A and B are shown apart, each in its own frame.
Chain A
């Protein structure tokens, strides 16, 4: 049973192969028969058709055989899937909260992350909830997903087999930035995981570990701006001045912002305080021209040190850049 969960992805692929294999054969038979008949019984070769009304035995065969075939598919698939619905004893619990358009993972000891870290070879039970609309927690490499539905808690079980980094996607349409709701799961050996879990090492340590021990992984979220990607900022605020739902970060380089505050137009200088307040209570000051799309509240989504990091990042990379020039 334990082995079965660990090899779940492989087993799903086997079911796929079984179904596709049989389907391919059926398709081949149908197509060959069809093409052969069309050629063989062409009007030139066969000017007079035989009026065959049917054949009871054939009809019975092609009802019974497909029924039998699909039943084997059903039971095979069912037996594989059952494993993924059975929560093993001692499984680690991770609460998954989906929200437009980011993920929040809460561990048993209260640790909160937006990237998922898991120990290799240990069963994990995800308790999946949504803070707003429907989402779906999907890890393609593990061949499994389960919807996050507001007002109810769904669950999903996996057991990571190998060290590595794998994509997590949202598979249920959830509005504007549905396609950007990606994050990653980093699977590391138990020792490393618990070192992290107990606060001895940080996220970056585990990410570097995976990079070094799994032959690398493709990460589209790299460089200085990792935090801006992880928190979903860049979904609406571009890094290069291009127009989006929120003002581009490059607009910070002006040093001042034209804003609307309680309906009044104002011009205020851009400083540490302005940036921090814009992140924590986005509704307070809205940059003129961007009133239409409201920025979502980040309540409980951003820790104090992360906020400081983001503000520093923006100050150094966008605000100060222009001052130097």
Chain B
């Protein structure tokens, strides 16, 4: 796979996959998708990038260490449970806001969404961490 075509095409492919994974993540509540699937897509994207162009560019592109990303996701997911405590409902109960950003356009925001983003980050971080480690000649 160490070919010119692949090396040319993979950065574009990777960015497309990552964007798609975010779409899957955000639409997951109403259509097939969600944090787990989105995370797997993004992880595959980075793994592919690593195979085509080497590990170092991936690490540069991620900027943070993958396991730090995973840890942050864990933190976010755990944090998303706390707002419910202010409402005197059990930990991790879903809360919703529907702010109107324009006339007639509501954006549903919720703590489950934040939780799902946390899941996405955990999956991406952990799997990319393992995949990159294996790609680095183990």
- Do A and B pair up? The answer is no
Q: Which residues does B use to contact A, with CB under 8 Å?
A: none
Q: Which residues does A use to contact B, with CB under 8 Å?
A: none
